[in-house]
């Protein structure tokens, strides 16, 4: 381990000196302590240069002590866990932490690209829009690669993230956002009333500003006061304290988004723990107690490492016992910063000089400073800085200019309430002259603001306000709130003179450190007419990126206001949107990654099919057997052709459980089916099934399937696999919204029944050995549907249906019996060489038979297009009937469903090919339709196709061209009837 | 967004499927002007900024179709009633 910290106080602070932690920055080993952030540990080790800036590669140091940090962005960890743009100020130190500075080459100290500083005239405001515009071809090849190399931030990991992320939901009566003085008191007031409270804070240590407070509260130090309240809250059963959790967005109906950094403070997550957890917090009321953010004063050279926010200097000294430097100066416009510096000085920091832009400062402050030997200059402005890291600065007063030595210049231009979440429903902040800051305007419903977040800057007042707001919120929810004893803290008067920018200072004066936007850039935007705050932001990029302008927004628009002569409220502010702080995409994705993007549904016979050697394919949400290759088969077509031939010559089986199955019961099911199918069902006999086609209300085909009547008031419908959920939802709509008077109840039973189809000339022989009852042609004729048992007492439904065109049955059993049924069928069919087949063979056979499927049920076809015109009843109304009669949908020129075969039988057909008349030019005007499905028919020994072509049924025997410019193919095909096999249906009735 | 399902209580919008305008009524298919009436029913929709009546289906819940009174500007939901109960929610 490295040497002891040279900039660490020997006592004080909320670090555990008994628990040293080793870490590395840019390869060098350092030591920090438990309780440190990476930033505080770097400062304690005297590391002041931590990164290079975005555009100009200027050396940069740590500026802030919280989420607002614009400069100290580092790459954390290595390899697959490498994480760019991590703010060192909120990175909790752990033993073994590895961090690397960003945006520098070859090293942080010597950066070859800092030459960009000399290019700054070209990289100023709006450079995206006006530089490198000509010649256009150079942009992609030359300018953009150069700019991307030179400008930018960290590098993302190049391997997949090895950690996992999860999502969770929690409910509460009151959500308190921020565990500072106001938040702790709000939570405590509500918690003691019995309300369910969630207190979320982004820090690993609850307390917020109390942890950097030097004074006492009651009779104990402020951090101990915070710890005592936090401990009480953590022990209450109705309170959940969520540390390391940033509430980043306010959504509808009291829903809040929050990110919990479960394992970011560990080298790797503990077993079974996610790295981060994305929370959906549902709160009846919420209190925003996010505090305030200090803002800088803009002057030349204000980006030099060593120039920091005054509150941050105070925080590092008080909370981490870390000294940002050995010779500290303050440059401020307000009393609060004086008090922070005097407290830091008392704690052991060496504050040597205090400058204030005000000519008059409260005499007690001046006296207190002088009593400590601190030199005081009023009416003073910093006009330049010196050193690679700060060694001194030049100050101008009424009596002239002077150089003053300092390694740290603490700056304070006042404080801005962290009101971001109040804007998430469109609320506009309001300017408060008294504190020269924006305060919350209209808040999202249910959200109230407490403490510094609404512009109350005294500690005592924040404690009181938090308690009052917490009590009010709990009271409004009906809880009896006991009176809370709030300790008295005397607040000094708030005194500030608005001051934003030292005009005429020397060197680049940065408004936005993260985006390298200078006061001059704001001037350019003004000169070029981009004066509205929204245009200023986009033209200069001021306020963008990870810090979202926490430290720069108000200053930028104040400078713009002074240029236009308008007031700040007239100039306005940009609106804040979620997220408040960056949220990783991993957390938003949660477990939905890669193969887990969505759940995979397995058929009841999945394991059985695997044992049979099935190759599986995703079909919608399902994983289904595609085909069952055997040893020696060289490609899928060989396998599929074997499966088809086996079915057509003997018998095969396939799991069809994925079809949607809907149970319908009630006195009016027949009438209901009549209204949703184009064909009639009311007259369907018990024990019979019928094929049906249903339309959407706009007249297009929605789905098809068979419905069987098992009993007078009991039907079961099947839908296509893809449309199962959609059809069910549609039927519920028809029933509940359109015809609530009908006596029908629906239930989806897709999951409850396994269904296996057997097909082929020996199908009945196989079924007879498995079924417990009579399955002869008389007992179970074509389109018959009976309930019975199989395998010696297993409840079953037997349907005599055929998709393949062969004698076929579908056997439904309770889902858990599906695999047993498959095995029983295999055993029963062994003597006939029963063959399991997959959905490829199923597809080939349905094309041979000329059945429509998903490719034809495209949502753009009518019943007439698909040859179902004569099925449509004229004796009743049904969904889609009126609209299907529109002229456009009954036009005889519409492409209609027919079959196609290649004139040269050796040629392969392609789905998607468009039809052209012989000799026609290939263009849209001559388009006749397109091929929807193709297959190689082992029965016919050539390729066959189905498709839609204008006036198709009138053109049987005609030759057209199938034109496929995508594959560069064009072949001559003959139009034929869509049934290539057994068009009379002898086989399936046999 | 959270929808107060009359059967299941307040539930997250992710459990629901959205259909749209609940102010239109399926016309009488036997009427003389049925073709025009169905055209309007299927295709014509107002797009109000403010109070609106919408159909939501509690797909991952009770499977009930709900008539939801929602403000399209604020997503505030005034009421949700079962489709089987006639009339607009308060």
> For residue A300, how far is the Cα from the chain centroid?
41
Selecting from B35, B42, B65 the residue whose C-beta is nearest the C-beta of A733 gives B65
CA–CA separation, A365 vs A367, rounded Å? 5
Is the Cβ pair B57, A733 closer than 8 Å?
A: yes
Q: How confident is the model at residue A135 (pLDDT cuts 50, 70, 90)?
A: low
DSSP assignment letter at A140: I
Averaged pLDDT, A600-614: 96
The CATH number of the domain where A504 resides is what?
1.10.10
Same domain, A652 and A756: yes
| pLDDT tens readout for residues B27-68 | 999 999 999 999 999 999 999 999 999 999 999 999 999 999
Peptide bond preceding A579: is omega within 30 degrees of 0, i.e. cis? yes
Predicted pLDDT at A140: 67
Query: Where a domain ends, among A591, A616, A648?
Result: A591
pTM: 0.90
Residues A586 and A627 in one domain: no
Q: Domain containing B86 — which CATH number?
A: 3.30.2270.10
Identify whether residues A812 and A789 lie together within a single domain.
yes
Q: Are residues A288 and A341 in the same domain?
A: no
CATH of the domain at A112: 3.10.20.440
In this structure, the answer to whether residues A629 and A673 fall within a common structural domain is no
**B-interface mutation test, from A168, A169, A173, A253, most B Cβ less than 10 A away:** A253
CA torsion sign, A828 to A830 to A833 to A837?
positive
- What residues pair up with A286 in beta bridges, in sequence order? A175, A447
**How many contacts does A have with B, using Cβ atoms within 8 A?**
62
Is the pLDDT at A136 greater than 70? The verdict is no
List chain A residues with CB under 8 Å of B55. 733, 737
CA atoms within 13 A on the CB side of A571: 25
What are residue A634's phi and psi, to 5 degrees? -95, -25
Confidence band (pLDDT; 50, 70, 90) for B90?
very low
Residue B30 in domain: no
Q: Do residues A245 and A175 share a domain?
A: yes
| Alpha-helical regions (H) of A353-458 | 363-371
Please state whether beta strands A307-309 and A408-412 pair in parallel, antiparallel, or not at all (unpaired).
Answer: parallel
CA distance A162 to B36: 59
Q: How far is CA B42 from CA A98, A693, A699, B38, in A?
A: 61, 20, 10, 6
ipTM over 0.90: yes
A363-374 pLDDT, tens digit per residue, is: 999 999 999 999
Residue A158: burial class (beta carbons within 10 Å; 0-12, 13-18, 19+): exposed
The Cα–Cα gap between A537 and A551 comes to: 14
Residue A519 CA to residue A556 CA, distance in Å, equals: 8
The pLDDT of A420-436, averaged and rounded, is: 95
- pLDDT above 70: percentage of residues in chain A: 95
* Chain A CB within 8 Å of residue B15 CB: no
> What is the β-pairing status of strands A688-695 and A701-711?
antiparallel
CA A368 vs. chain centroid, Å, equals 53
Look at residue B40 and tell me if it is in a domain. Answer: no
- Comparing CB atoms, the residue among B13, B29, B64 nearest residue A881 is B29
Asked if the C-beta of A534 comes within 8 angstroms of chain B's C-beta atoms, the answer is no
pLDDT given for residue A278 in this prediction:
98
Are A245 and A345 in a shared domain?
no
Contacts of B59 in chain A (CB under 8 A): 725, 729
The number of domains in chain A is: 7
For residue A230, give the 3-state DSSP assignment.
Answer: helix
pLDDT higher at A153 or A481: A481
pLDDT of residue A349 exceeding 90: yes
Q: Which of A650, A644, A675, A570 is closest to A848 using CA atoms? A: A644
The CATH number given to whatever domain includes residue A733 is 3.30.70.1400
pLDDT, residue A591, reads 93
Residue A517 lies in a domain: yes
Domain span at residue B83 reads 1-23+49-90
Q: DSSP for A714-778, please give it.
A: EEEEEE-STTHHHHHHHHHHIIIII-TTS--EEEE-TTTEEEEEEESTTHHHHHHHHBSS--STT
Considering the domain boundaries, does residue A920 fall inside one? Answer: yes
Q: Which residues contact A634 (CB under 8 A, 6 or more apart)?
A: none
- pLDDT, one tens digit per residue, over A379-422 is 999 999 999 999 999 999 999 999 999 999 999 999 999 999 99
Contacts of B18 (CB under 8 A, 6+ apart): B54, B55, B56, B57
Separation in Å, CA of A289 to nearest CA in chain B: 24
CA–CA dist A143, A148 (Å, integer):
8
For residue B16, give how far its alpha carbon lies from the nearest alpha carbon of chain A (Å). 11
Domain assignment of residue B85, yes or no? yes
Domain match, A455 and A343 both = no
For residue A674, tell me if it sits in a domain: yes
Question: Are A637 and A658 spatial neighbours (Cβ–Cβ below 8 Å)?
Answer: no
Partners of B1 on chain A (C-beta within 8 Å) are 251-253, 255
Q: Decide if B63 and A732 are in contact by the 8 Å CB cutoff.
A: yes
pLDDT tens digits, A278-333: 999 999 999 999 999 999 999 999 999 999 999 999 999 999 999 999 999 999 99
Per residue in A535-593, pLDDT tens?
Answer: 888 888 888 877 888 889 899 999 999 999 999 999 888 788 999 999 999 999 999 99
Residues A64 and A189 in one domain: no
Following DSSP, what letter does each residue of A822-850 receive, concatenated? Answer: HHHHHHHTGGGT-EE--HHHHHHHHHHHT
Phi, psi of A215 (to 5 degrees): -80, 175
At residue A138 the predicted structure's pLDDT band, cuts being 50, 70 and 90, is low
Q: Is A749 on the interface with B (CB under 8 A)?
A: no
Residue A260 within a domain: yes
Cis peptide before B17 (omega within 30 of 0): no
Phi and psi at residue A408, to the nearest 5°: -140, 130
Give me chain A's average pLDDT, please.
93
**Hey, is the C-beta of A729 within 8 angstroms of any chain B C-beta?**
yes
Structural domains counted in chain B? 1
How far is the C-alpha of A26 from the C-alpha of A23, rounded, in Å?
Answer: 10
Q: How many whole angstroms separate alpha carbon A521 and alpha carbon A298?
A: 13
Place of tokens 């019975």: A788
Same domain, yes or no, for A695 and A720?
yes
B87 within a domain of the structure (yes/no): yes
pLDDT of residue A303: 95
| In a shared domain, residues A899 and A984 | yes
Q: Which run of H or E residues covers position A644? A: helix A636-649
Residue A343 CA: distances (Å) to CA of A20, A294, A316: 26, 17, 12
Domain assignment present for B79: yes
| pLDDT 10s digits, A22-54 | 999 999 999 999 999 999 999 999 999 998 888
Q: What is the pLDDT of residues A745-804, one digit of tens each?
A: 999 999 999 999 999 999 999 999 999 999 999 999 999 999 999 999 999 999 999 989
Domain boundary, last residue among A116, A131, A146: A131
Out of B59, B75, B82, closest to residue A729 by CB:
B59
Contact B1 A251 (CB under 8 A): yes
Q: Are residues A174 and A246 in the same domain?
A: yes
**Domain extent at residue A900:** 891-989
Q: pLDDT digits over A954-986, tens only?
A: 999 999 999 999 999 999 999 999 999 888 888
Give domain status of residue B35, yes or no: no
A697 lies within 8 A of chain B by CB: yes
């Amino acid at each position: 381990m490295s040497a002891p910290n040279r900039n660490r106080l020997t006592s004080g602070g909320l670090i555990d000196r008994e628990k040293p932690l080793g870490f590395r920055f840019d390869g060098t080993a350092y030591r920090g302590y438990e309780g440190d952030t990476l930033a505080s540990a770097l400062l304690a080790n005297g590391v002041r240069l931590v990164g290079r800036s975005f555009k100009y590669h200027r050396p940069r140091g740590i500026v802030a002590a919280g989420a607002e940090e614009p400069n100290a962005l580092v790459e954390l960890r290595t390899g697959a866990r490498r994480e760019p743009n991590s703010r060192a100020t909120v990175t909790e130190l752990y033993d073994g932490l590895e961090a690397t500075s960003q945006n520098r080459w070859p090293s942080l100290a010597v950066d070859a690209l800092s030459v960009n500083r000399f290019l700054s005239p070209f990289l100023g405001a709006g450079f995206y829009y006006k530089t490198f515009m000509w010649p256009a071809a150079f942009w992609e090849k030359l300018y953009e690669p150069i700019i991307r190399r030179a400008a930018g931030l960290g590098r993302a990991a190049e391997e997949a993230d090895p950690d996992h992320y999860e999502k969770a939901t929690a409910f509460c009566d009151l959500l308190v956002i921020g565990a500072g003085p106001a938040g702790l008191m709000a939570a405590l007031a509500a918690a003691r009333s019995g309300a369910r409270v969630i207190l979320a804070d982004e820090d690993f240590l609850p307390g917020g500003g109390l942890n950097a407070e030097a004074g006492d509260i009651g009779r104990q130090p402020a951090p101990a006061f915070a710890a005592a309240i936090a401990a009480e809250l953590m022990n209450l059963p109705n309170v959940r304290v969520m540390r390391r959790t940033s509430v980043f967005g306010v959504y509808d109906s009291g829903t809040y988004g929050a990110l919990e950094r479960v394992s970011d403070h560990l080298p790797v997550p503990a077993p079974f723990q996610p790295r981060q957890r994305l929370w959906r917090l549902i709160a009846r009321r919420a209190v925003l107690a996010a505090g305030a953010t200090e803002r800088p004063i803009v002057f030349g050279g204000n980006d030099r490492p060593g120039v920091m926010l005054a509150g941050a200097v105070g925080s590092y000294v008080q909370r981490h016992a870390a000294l940002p430097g050995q010779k500290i100066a303050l440059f401020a416009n307000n009393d609060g910063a004086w008090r922070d510096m005097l407290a830091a000085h008392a704690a052991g920091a060496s504050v040597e000089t205090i400058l204030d832009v005000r000519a008059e400062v409260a005499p007690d402050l001046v006296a207190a400073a002088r009593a400590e030997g601190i030199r005081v200059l009023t009416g003073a402005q910093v006009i330049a800085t010196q050193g690679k890291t700060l060694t001194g600065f030049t100050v101008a007063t009424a009596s002239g200019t002077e150089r003053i030595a300092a390694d740290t210049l603490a700056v304070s231009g006042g404080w801005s309430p962290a009101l971001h979440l109040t804007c998430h429903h469109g609320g506009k902040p309001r300017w408060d002259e008294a504190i020269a800051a924006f305060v919350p305007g209209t808040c999202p419903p249910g959200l109230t603001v407490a403490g510094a977040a609404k512009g109350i800057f005294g500690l005592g007042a924040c404690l009181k306000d938090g308690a009052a707001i917490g009590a009010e919120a709990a009271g409004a929810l009906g809880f009896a709130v006991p009176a809370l004893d709030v300790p008295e803290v005397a607040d000094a008067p708030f005194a500030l003179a608005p001051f934003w920018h030292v005009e005429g200072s020397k060197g680049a004066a940065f408004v936005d450190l993260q985006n390298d936007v200078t006061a001059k850039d704001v001037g350019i935007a003004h000169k070029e007419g981009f004066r509205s705050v929204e245009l200023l932001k986009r033209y200069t990029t001021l306020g963008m990126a990870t810090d979202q302008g926490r430290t720069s927004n108000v200053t930028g628009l104040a400078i713009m206001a002074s240029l236009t002569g308008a007031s700040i409220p007239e100039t306005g502010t940009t609106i804040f949107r979620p997220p408040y702080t960056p949220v990783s995409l991993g957390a938003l994705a949660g477990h939905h990654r890669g193969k887990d993007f969505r759940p995979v549904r397995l058929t009841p016979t999945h394991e059985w099919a695997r044992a049979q050697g099935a190759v599986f394919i995703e079909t919608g949400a399902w994983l289904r057997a595609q085909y069952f290759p055997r040893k020696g088969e060289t490609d899928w077509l060989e396998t599929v052709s074997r499966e088809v031939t086996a079915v057509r010559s003997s018998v095969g089986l396939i799991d069809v459980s994925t079809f949607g199955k809907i149970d319908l019961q009630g006195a009016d099911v027949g009438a209901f089916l009549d209204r949703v199918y184009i064909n009639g069902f009311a007259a369907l006999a018990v024990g019979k099934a019928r094929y049906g086609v249903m339309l959407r209300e706009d007249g297009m085909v929605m789905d098809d399937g068979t419905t069987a009547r098992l009993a007078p008031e009991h039907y079961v419908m099947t839908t296509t696999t893809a449309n199962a959920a959609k059809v069910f939802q549609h039927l519920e709509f028809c029933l509940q919204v359109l015809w609530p008077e009908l006596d029908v109840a629906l239930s989806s039973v897709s999951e409850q029944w396994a269904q296996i189809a057997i097909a082929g000339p020996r199908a009945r022989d196989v079924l007879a050995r498995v079924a417990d009852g009579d399955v002869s042609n008389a007992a179970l004729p074509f389109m018959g549907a009976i309930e019975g048992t199989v395998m010696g007492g297993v409840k079953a439904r037997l349907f005599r249906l055929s998709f393949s065109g062969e004698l076929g049955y579908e056997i439904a059993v309770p889902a858990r019996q599906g695999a047993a049924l498959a095995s029983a069928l295999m055993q029963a069919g062994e003597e006939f060489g029963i063959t399991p087949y997959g959905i490829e063979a199923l597809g080939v056979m349905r094309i041979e038979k000329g059945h429509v499927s998903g490719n034809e049920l495209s949502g753009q076809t009518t019943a007439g297009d698909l040859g179902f015109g004569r099925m449509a009843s004229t004796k009743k109304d049904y969904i889609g009937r009126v609209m299907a009669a529109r002229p456009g949908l009954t036009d005889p020129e519409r492409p209609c469903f027919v079959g196609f075969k290649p004139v040269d039988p050796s040629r392969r057909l392609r789905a998607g090919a468009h039809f052209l008349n012989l000799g026609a030019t290939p263009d849209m005007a001559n388009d006749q339709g397109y091929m929807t499905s193709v297959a190689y028919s082992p029965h016919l020994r050539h390729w066959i196709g189905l498709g839609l072509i204008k006036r198709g049924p009138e053109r049987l025997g005609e030759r057209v061209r199938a034109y496929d410019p995508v594959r560069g193919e064009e072949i001559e095909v003959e139009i034929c009837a869509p049934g290539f096999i057994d068009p009379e249906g002898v086989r399936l009735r046999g | 967004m959270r929808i107060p399902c009359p059967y299941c209580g307040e539930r997250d919008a992710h459990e629901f499927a959205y259909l749209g305008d609940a102010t239109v009524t399926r016309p009488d298919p036997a009427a003389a002007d049925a073709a025009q009436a169905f055209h309007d029913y299927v295709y014509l929709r107002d797009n109000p900024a403010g109070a609106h009546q919408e159909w939501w289906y509690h797909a991952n819940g009770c499977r009930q179709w709900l008539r939801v009174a929602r403000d399209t500007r604020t997503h505030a939901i005034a009421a949700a009633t079962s489709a089987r109960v006639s009339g607009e929610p308060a």
